[in-house]
Structure 1
Amino acid sequence: MLFDTHTHINDEAFDADLPAVLDRARAAGVAQMVVVGVDRATIERVFPIIDQHKHIYGAIGWNPEDAIDMTEDDFQMIKQQLSHPGIVALGEIGLDYHWDKSPKSVQHQIFRRQIRLAKDAGLPLIIHDREATEDVARILREEHAETVGGVMHCYSDNWEWAQQFIDLNFYISFGGPLTFKNASLQRETAEQIPLEHLLIETDCPFLSPHPFRGKRNEPARVRLVAEKLAEIKGLTLEQIAQITTENAMRCFRINTATENS
């Protein structure tokens, strides 16, 4: 059974057919997933989903692109909601230097503050890193994020950086881009990462894997990511499914006590 460690099934893209999307996920062998909220609107949409579905877990945090919009009320809302039994991580948070909306200094402040909040709550982090790897790694080290660890979400950097994140107690998660024809760097990196540090995800509705690139992504397609990872590692799909699911359970500290009913 597969575990999609990063979905946005709370996105408006799924408003019309979420039950069918979840049915297709189950049919594809996706037994568990995490739904991620990244601003006030999407965070609020996490809770009805995780309250209704026992094996869908939540992660909430403020995304770096919109760091400049985060208010004290938003921060306090996240802090209060972290105690919900279905919340298994704080994220996605991090740095994004691709977009110009939020100044780097503001992103750094919001990133550090949320790392400290995760440490206070004892929750792992889900990290968004776009064109900011050096600063992401530095801030994680300076804030001692290794005490909670977490996930480098939708990883697209090289093995040398991956080693540093693994040393900081982070798992490396691959999504649809691993299947793209031009993704030689991701495949080379995935080949070198130890099995015990690998996770899989869709980041749906974004980054649909080949041959669905450019179409709306959905959790069922994490199977295509798992198949590519199995090919890279010289393992069966069943072996990769078991390994990545066990890793996800360990990363998010999921057991019978944390399963929301």
Structure 2
Amino acid sequence: MLVDSHCHLDRLDQTPEQLRETLHFARQRGVEHFLCVSVSLKDFPAMAKAVSDIPDVSISCGVHPLHQEDAASYEALLEMASAENVVAIGETGLDYFYSNDTKEVQIQSFIDHIKVANQLEKPLIIHTRDAREDTIALLNKYLDNNTKGVLHCFTESWEMAEQAIELGFYISISGIVTFKTATELQDVVRKIPLERLLIETDSPWLAPVPYRGKQNQPGYVREVAEFIAELKGVSVEELASITTKNFYTLFSLAKATG
């Protein structure tokens, strides 16, 4: 069975009925669990409510680095993230590619998320783009030894992946890996140990081949799994088993329902 370790179900352009059909399609393709990831505290209550009655969907709480207009105080983040149904903190992190002008705000927000994760003993979900040195430096400075996490939708270097793995982090790969232009990422994926690998869709964005140009959805995590399995020379079943085990190891508050 597979897990979509990172999706944004509330961002799908679908009615509640269509969302349930989408999740049913994913389950038919072997996806047993979905982690619906927060990008804004302002939208967090609506996101949580939208999936509250779906047992195989877990949620995170946090502010995406490109949503700093919705940034909240440390106290507000701590209060919302303390909810029992929140299994992770984020997504947080740094994005200097799209928003270098908010660098200082992003850094403070990232530090707040790390400290909340430390306090609540919940894992971090990190977005990083063109901010390799600062991302690793802030983790080294503020992360407690027992706080772990994942670099999601990873597109950076093997050197950065290795540094994150040394911190006890996982590396999550999205449908980008299937793109013809993603040869460098494919080389990195070949090097990532299976025991440190997660897979995701990041839906509704970044649909894998052969669905490029369409709205992404959790069921397409199977294409990600099939492509990575071929890259690494293992069966899809083995890749699914290991990445699913990795998911529940990292996100220990997520409950398997399959």
User: SS of 1:253's equivalent?
Assistant: coil
Within 5 Å, which residues of 2 pair with 1:2-81?
2-15=2-15, 17-72=18-73, 75-81=74-80
Within 5 Å, which residues of 2 pair with 1:91-240?
91-100=90-99, 103-240=102-239
- Say whether the 8 Å CA contact 2:77–2:116 is kept in structure 1: no
> How many pairs align?
256
TM-score by length of 1: 0.92
How far is the alpha carbon of 1:102 from its aligned partner?
5.0
User: SS of 1:5's equivalent?
Assistant: strand
Letter in 1 for 2:22: V
Q: CA RMSD in A?
A: 1.8
How far is the alpha carbon of 1:171 from its aligned partner?
0.2
Identity among equivalent positions (%) equals 38
How far is the alpha carbon of 1:85 from its aligned partner?
2.5
- Say whether the 8 Å CA contact 1:146–1:170 is kept in structure 2: no
Deviations 1:53-86 (A, max 9, x none): 11211111011112254133xx434322223232
TM-score by length of 2: 0.93
How far is the alpha carbon of 1:215 from its aligned partner?
1.1
Off by >4 Å, runs of 4+ in structure 1: none
How far is the alpha carbon of 1:23 from its aligned partner?
1.0
Instruction: Indicate how the Cα distance of structure 1 residues 254 and 160 shifts in structure 2: closer, same or farther if over 3 A, else same.
Output: same
CA distance in structure 2 between the partners assigned to 1:95 and 1:146 by the alignment: 21
User: SS of 2:156's equivalent?
Assistant: coil
CA distance in structure 2 between the partners assigned to 1:234 and 1:254 by the alignment: 31
Letter in 1 for 2:86: I
CA distance in structure 1 between the partners assigned to 2:101 and 2:127 by the alignment: 14
Number of the residue aligned with 2:248: 249
Deviations 1:91-148 (A, max 9, x none): 1000011223752111111110111011000000000001111111111111125431
- Say whether the 8 Å CA contact 1:8–1:204 is kept in structure 2: yes
CA distance in structure 2 between the partners assigned to 1:153 and 1:215 by the alignment: 21
- Say whether the 8 Å CA contact 1:65–1:101 is kept in structure 2: no
- For structure 2, the 5+ residue unaligned runs are none
- Say whether the 8 Å CA contact 1:66–1:101 is kept in structure 2: no
- Say whether the 8 Å CA contact 1:68–1:102 is kept in structure 2: no
